[in-house]
Structure 1
Amino acid sequence: MQHSNAANRIDRLPVSRFHKVTLVAVSFAYFFEFADINTFATTVPKLVDLWGVTVSQIAYVTSLSFVGMFFGSLVASGLADRWGRKRALTATTLWFAVFSFAAVFSWDVVSLGVFRVLTSAGLSAMTVVAVIYVNELYPAAVRGKYQAYAIVIGICGTPVTNLIASAVVPISDWSWRLVYLWGSLGVLFVLFTRHLQESPRWYENKGRYAEADAVLSRIEAQVEAEKGPLPAPAPPVATAPHAKAPLSLLLQRRYLAPTALLTVLWVTQTIGFFGYSSWAPTLLAQEGLSVEKSIFYVALTTVGAPLGSFLASLVTDRFERKWCLVAFGTTIAICGLLYGLTFNPVLIVVFGFLVNLFERGYTALAYAYSPELFDTRGRSLGTGMSYGLGRLSNAVGPLVIAALYTRSGYESVFYFIAGTWVVGALTLAVFGPRTRRARLEAAAAPDPAVRS
């Protein structure tokens, strides 16, 4: 049976300019995804004063944004399978940029909420596609490292945006709109598209072997021109092309278990991370800190985010990803609890810095770990569904946090958030499969039968 041997041909490539250009493009998309994801949180303290926005309204906008993320994740998995990884990545990035620009012209909390829901759908969709794209274009031995490198660069969007917000939001009654204008610059991703290649593994899975071979030949020619002759790839194992993966595919035993596990991973990560990032500026302001100080302190804590992603790049391919996730999640729970139980400015910044450092390391590890639990046929659907359900869970998370804050006070919010991280770490420790041996086997003596 005809076969382009995509996996083996990709895995024997040395890292080259092709991989680095792809890294820059994906990192750019990530940068504005991370820039955009916190824009509402950084402008809310100003809108509380300007529009009289209440804690309950903040909770509803945040909750509905995560409903948008859920649908965005599901749509993304379909787009990635139907259109291809490259076209889907471009479309989803442009989507969130356009609606971030629309938010500049919001006239009340309802209109802003609508634009945030649509923006959030694009943010989540882009993330799902980018994770799959990197997984399929980089050699198995280094894909985790380069997934983390993309996050290292991309996550800089969070502290940059927070620092921009801390500078521009207090200027006037309209200057908060500049934060959303900044987020819309993700539209410039179109400048990178001509340098990107479609995933040959996607072509192969669709039975479009000639197109897969053409892409692989272009990539190999670029790499050979830079690195010299390439080693011969391992021989292919003939496989039949697959039709569109139906939703019922995830009910099969080989897909159900990893989907359930990853759903728990992304539920606890979503509630845990956004519990801190979405609520910290508002809660600090509610507890007596000025708007300027609350935004500035949170901006300082997010400086730890790029360092966390870099830390993940150092450990992700060297150690078992499962246990790295367990260790990072436990550390986040401890540091996050201490962060919430102090009002000393220095300790707020220190523990907040550590939360951001380990959380972003955790996210980078999870982005590499998630698609490894599926084969090519189930990768897009399984990754999109579990990630989407995680985001959907935070439709409830902000309402729970608002209720806890109203009824039990500030400290109870941070006990709740720390508890979600502990649940995620324990679930991974008990049920998470190990993937390092499979990666090492794929790099040393790949067996195509287990690497589809």
Structure 2
Amino acid sequence: MHQANAANRLNRLPASRFHKITIAIVAFAYFFEFADINSFATTAPKLVKLWGITVDQVAYVTSLSFVGMFIGSMVASWIADRWGRKRALTLTTVFFGVFSFASVFSWDIVSLGVFRVLTSAGLSAMTVVAVIYVNEMYPAAIRGKYQAYAIVIGICGTPATNLIASATVPLTDWSWRLVYLWGAIGILYLFFARRLKESPRWYESKGRHQEADAVLREIELQVAAEKGALAEPAPSVEEPPYVKAPLRMLLQKKYLGPTLLLTVLWVTQTIGFFGYSSWAPTLLAKEGFSVEKSIFYVALTTVGAPLGSYLAALVTDRFERKWCLVAFGAVIAVCGLLYGLTFNPVLIVVFGFLVNMFERGYTALGYAYSPELFDTRGRSLGTGFSYGLGRLSNAAGPLIIATLYNGSGYRSVFFFIAGTWILGAAVLALFGPGTRRARLASATAAAPQERAAA
């Protein structure tokens, strides 16, 4: 059977109820991924007092969590390529929900650390699969916007968790456990997963053209019933048969450059973002703010996160994503440095708000930009490997931050974090390829067919 022409058939679809339902389900998984990712940060100040853990122990748990994220990213790439994007999304979401629930029953810092490492592996794996899934299911002209919409909804999980933590953690000696119970609600994703379609582009990459065509026909019937007759897709381009992508494939010239670039992007984003979010409550508490106030201030700053993702949705398909990332990274560096140079509660909230707003916009842009640098064969491996290395890098990040804090004080931490953002912005500016022209070309390829249909 001839190729199903999945990319062109998906690219010529108008935005429809199918796309909205799909992104809502993905956003649900994102919501609890973002809700759970900072759970340890919000409970750590309480555990410092309750269990007597030290800043160094907080650093070790945080560091090992990022090792778990790296492993999760790599396993996710393998699962997504072997079993499909939809099944991988379900497995990874359930995995992090189960181990977040296990964290409720932790009895010491070691048991909690083990559960958090496993939870983090699932969180990172789910993110990698979701990024790939959205990239493959949405038309090139709107995929960045819909990727950002998923983050807009999903990122609300961060302020929700922080506000829940600020209300519950101080109540009793056991109420911190409710934060992890909240994160485990992501398991309810199972009730919605059956409404997702498997990626036709994944089927096609496996040579399973009949199954790809069947899924495409289902999608096209749904969209046509709502939007009317569909335009003819652009002609298919013959591609070589699928061959399993080994890790060494990333050493090929066409993959090595994007992999190195995205590794820098995700390394600097990971250290830069988690340097703020994972440490802010603990460091504020160490600097004399009460546990209640430190968690509450950080909760207020995360309210800016959904606005940042919405801002990304407004700019991601209108401008070159590379330059949007550069601009957002520079703004984060400046606002983050100002955050660290003040102890005024109002300014802490204001600058923290701006950091969270632009960082989440940066993340949404990065999720849309990363898969575009690879073809279908290398997309899962390249995206997962570079994202995983970014997460792995932060195994060292918390240890560096703890050393800086203990040796040079609170403000040195924020000079270091700002420097990582500037480095990432500079590398992107100098070496990052543009992707807007390719997106416009994909949209233009369908335009003659649309005019003919009209």
Q: What TM-score, normalized by structure 1, do the two folds share? A: 0.98
After superposition, residues 309-320 of structure 1 pair within 5 angstroms as: 309-320=309-320
Match of 2:345 in 1: 345
Q: What is the CA deviation profile of residues 389-411 of structure 1, one whole-angstrom value per residue up to 9, with x for unaligned ones? A: 00000000000000000000000
Give the match for residue 450 of structure 1.
none
Question: Which AA in structure 2 matches 1:171?
Answer: L
Q: How does 1:403-418 map to 2 (within 5 A)?
A: 403-418=403-418
* Separation in structure 2 between the aligned mates of residue 41 and residue 402 of structure 1, nearest angstrom: 14
Deviation track 1:41-63 (CA, whole Å, cap 9, x = no partner) reads: 00000000000010000000000
Alpha-carbon separation, structure 2, partners of 1:340 and 1:193: 42
The Cα offsets for residues 191-244 of structure 1, whole Å up to 9 and x where unpaired, read as 111110000000000000000000000000000101100000011112233122
| 1:245-260 → structure 2 map (5 Å cutoff) | 245-260=245-260
Alignment partner, residue 437 of structure 1 = 437
1:421 matches 2:441: no
**TM-score (ref. length: structure 2):** 0.98
Aligned residue in 2 for 1:27 = 27
Rounded to whole Å, the distance in 1 between the matches of 2:192 and 2:227 is 23
Measure the CA separation in 2 of the matches of 1:399 and 1:236. Answer: 51
**Further displaced range: 186-195 or 305-314:** 186-195
Q: Deviations over 1:17-69 (max 9, x none)?
A: 11011011000000000000000000000000000010000000000000000
Q: What residue identity is the alignment partner of 2:19?
A: H
Q: Residues of 2 paired with 1:445 and 1:380: CA distance?
A: 25
Q: Following superposition of structure 1 onto structure 2, how do residues 68-147 of structure 1 map, counting pairs within 5 Å? A: 68-147=68-147
Who is 1:61 aligned against?
61
Equivalent residue runs for 1:43-62 within 5 Å: 43-62=43-62
The unaligned stretches of length 5 or more in structure 1 are: 448-452
SS of 2:309's equivalent in the other structure is: helix
Number of equivalenced pairs: 447
Cα distance in 1 between the residues matched to 2:4 and 2:249: 25
Runs of 4+ in structure 1 off by over 6 angstroms are: none
Once residues 341 and 47 of structure 2 are traced to their aligned partners in structure 1, the CA distance between those partners, rounded to angstroms, is 26
Q: What SS class does the counterpart of residue 66 from structure 1 fall into? A: helix
Q: Identify the range of structure 1 (1-10 vs 359-368) with the bigger mean alpha-carbon deviation.
A: 1-10
Partner of 1:305: 305
In the alignment, structure 1 residue 383 sits paired with structure 2 residue 383: yes
Give the whole-Å Cα distance in 2 for the aligned partners of 1:8 and 1:118. 39
Which 10-residue stretch deviates more, 289-298 or 231-240? Answer: 231-240
AA matched with 1:324: C
**Offset of 1:446 from its aligned partner?**
5.6
Q: Measure the CA separation in 2 of the matches of 1:408 and 1:274.
A: 20
Equivalent position amino acid for 2:304 in 1: G
**Number of the residue aligned with 2:167:** 167
Q: Percent identity?
A: 79
* 8 Å Cα contact 2:12-2:446 kept in structure 1: no
- For residue 271 of structure 2, what is the amino acid of its counterpart? I
The alignment's C-alpha RMSD in Å is: 0.8
Equivalent pair of 1:204/1:241 in contact (CA under 8 Å): no
